[in-house]
Structure 1
Amino acid sequence: MPRRVDDKLLVWGEIEENTIAQARKAARLPIVEGHVALMPDAHIGIGATIGSVIPTENAVIPSAVGVDIGCGMVAVRTDVRQDQLPDDLKPLLRKIAHAVPAGVGKGHGRVTKAAEAWLGSRKPPRDLSDKQTKTTLEQFGTLGSGNHFLEVAVDEDGRTWIVLHSGSRGIGNQLATMHISKAKKDMKRALVSLGDPDLAYFV
């Protein structure tokens, strides 16, 4: 059951006080509809608390969208059973590592047809710079660094799964930073004072 910190903030789990203090700033925004909720993994972020749910009405808070937009996980069950896997998985893992580069700034070193087709059919609402487009295309289908991973797993029924945790690479941070900056300028023009400038929002 959640703990109600006040009428605008609910908390699940044991959360550090500085994280709760940050979330309170978001909860006090006039655009928040209902209450802010902190999940058990909540921790300090830029403006918005990571691991929070911030329901807004007719507004977007770029820092709540986050610097790793698109970060997420997927698990896909394959038709391969555990007894069909080779005894030594190292060759398979080497193939995966070759096909899916990982690490800070790592990419394919070239633009694949799949990347061009994907980005071509999903034009961003704003034009990316030539450098951002090139980086996006070269890093399409890669992992990045940190806590992102790709693994082969087996469930209790002996079925094989591919589990992926990927992010938006550096482009997510660039886009978030750009939009946070624009929202701050909007707040300044509208003479809106915020408890944390990084909670600037668009209406």
Structure 2
Amino acid sequence: MPYQQLSLQTPAPVYSWAHHELGAQEVRMAKNVASLPFVFKHVALMPDVHLGKGALVGSAIATRDAVIPAAVGVDIGCGMAALKLPFTSEHLDGKLKPMRRDIEAVVPVGFNENADADKQARNWQGWRGFKDLHRGVQRLEAKALKQLGSLGGGNHFIELCLDTDDGVWLMLHSGSRHIGNRLAQCHIATAKELAKLAVPGLPDPDLAHFVRGTPEFAAYWRDLQWAQDYARYNRRVMLDRCRRVMELHLSGGKPVTPLLAVNCHHNYAEQEIHFGEEVIVTRKGAVRARTGDYGIIPGSMGAQSFIVKGKGNPTSFCSCAHGAGRQLSRTQAKKRFSVDDLVQQTQGIECRKDGGVLDEIPSAYKPIDKVMHQQTDLVEIVATLRQVVCVKG
């Protein structure tokens, strides 16, 4: 569906693919961002847009020579990864519970980390640049090493899925773990301190930013790229471990070759060319969707998910939604629903069904079908998936 221009009196217009009325706080957040002098062309809101910190989750923001650390967020490089594997539902019969158990054994979840880093984690090329990162994280190298190949908690997950052709997919959602969070916090604090001196009229402290050509910009950009690479490799390590579990159960341990592999960020910033100019695009809860780009748009636990291919829509800065988007906060979800509701809404899925994941109940999220309908001009659907196993922290 085409976008709508919001009726806001801002220097940069706001285009929205979310065909619903934004709340007062969401409107204020959109206006604050669109009023920044370095915003390029316009602000693009995706169908799953909702409140964030500084900027709305589900937005694509292009800027000239400036970057907003809080708009990128604290889970730098958070994103999705998926493998299509040469198995069908027949291979899964009677094996869902033991596969879930074995995945949970090889991938630490929640606050847990690996007891020891494996060879794949130790061999990551990014460790060579660790000594150049912000001094506030230098004592965290051992922790970052042990967390490489771990899931985290909240809305992060690992799933086994079936597509409409009965094909098996391995899919997961995770980011840069504690090291990415700490790097972000360090730079956000620096940006806010600078803003007190240089930008006294900033509409929101979380829109404090760095300007290209300054040491602070250079330091943040270096650390940002490192954390984004860490997040991508973290997903790769977990995919490899989970694939080996599946091979053990489904092919007698014989290695199999994935039919398709996708690994994409949805909380990050990159330098890109748009409308003939080099700009910085911050995607806060949005996936890059250039022509032919593969992306992953998950629904909630118990809903469909989608593998998509981008259409390269220039008005969205070649972006699309990153998921269903929450319609209830975690606190609201826990108050409104019971464990019995969770059990009912996740029927047929091998997953946790207890109060510890109640805030992730499907009804806490927007209907994913509606989100997909609102972005037919941004992506085409390649595969529609339904979960049969879901692992959460």
TM over 0.5: yes
Q: Size of the alignment, in residue pairs?
A: 202
CA deviation vs aligned residue, 1:31-73 (integer Å, no higher than 9, x gap): 1011112212222222122211111001111011111111111
Question: In 2, distance between residues paired with 1:70 and 1:29?
Answer: 24
Asked whether 1:8 is paired with 2:8, we answer no
Corresponding residue number in structure 2 for 1:20: 27
Distance 2:38 2:200 in 1: 12
Question: CA contact under 8 A between 2:134 and 2:183: conserved in structure 1?
Answer: no
* 1:163 CA drift (Å): 0.7
Residue 55 of structure 2 aligns to which amino acid in structure 1?
Answer: A
Equivalence for 1:117: 123
Q: CA deviation at 1:192?
A: 4.7
Q: For 1:121 and 1:191, locate their aligned partners in 2 and report how far apart those are by CA, in whole Å.
A: 36
CA–CA separation in structure 1 for the residues paired with 2:25 and 2:199: 27
What does 1:38-53 align with in structure 2 at a 5 Å threshold?
38-53=45-60
Question: How far has the Cα of 1:130 moved from its partner?
Answer: 4.3
Q: Return closer, same or farther for 1:201/1:130 CA change in 2, 3 Å cut-off.
A: closer
| Alignment match of 1:168 (pick from 161, 165, 176) | 176
Q: Quote the Cα distance in structure 2 between the aligned partners of 1:166 and 1:21.
A: 29
State how far apart, in whole Å, the 2-side matches of 1:40 and 1:189 are: 37
Paired position in structure 2 for 1:75: 82
TM norm structure 2 = 0.48
Write the letter of the residue equivalent to 2:193: K
SS in 1 for 2:154: coil
How far off is 1:76 after superposition? 1.0
Residue 123 of structure 1 aligns to a residue whose secondary structure is helix
Question: Do structure 1's residue 138 and structure 2's residue 138 form an aligned pair?
Answer: no
Partner in structure 1 of residue 166 of structure 2: 158
> What residue number does 1:101 align with?
108
Of residues 36, 40, 43, the one that matches 1:36 is: 43
Cα contact 1:112–1:137 (8 A) shared by 2: no
Q: Contact 1:61–1:199 at 8 Å: present in 2 too?
A: yes
Residues 82 and 158, structure 1, Cα contact 8 Å, conserved in 2: yes
- For the residue of structure 1 that corresponds to 2:142, the secondary structure is helix
SS at match of 2:45: strand
TM-score, with structure 1 as normaliser: 0.90
Tell me which moved more, 119-128 or 187-196. Answer: 119-128
Q: Secondary structure at the match of 1:195?
A: coil
2:187 is the alignment partner of 1:179? yes
1:195 and 2:203 aligned: yes
2:119 alignment partner AA: K
Instruction: Name the amino acid aligned to 1:183.
Output: A
> Does the residue aligned with 1:19 lie in a helix, a strand or coil?
helix
- Contact 1:3–1:10, Cα closer than 8 Å, also in 2: yes
Paired residue type of 1:73: M
Report whether the alignment pairs 1:60 with 2:67: yes
Q: Please provide the CA RMSD for this pair.
A: 1.9
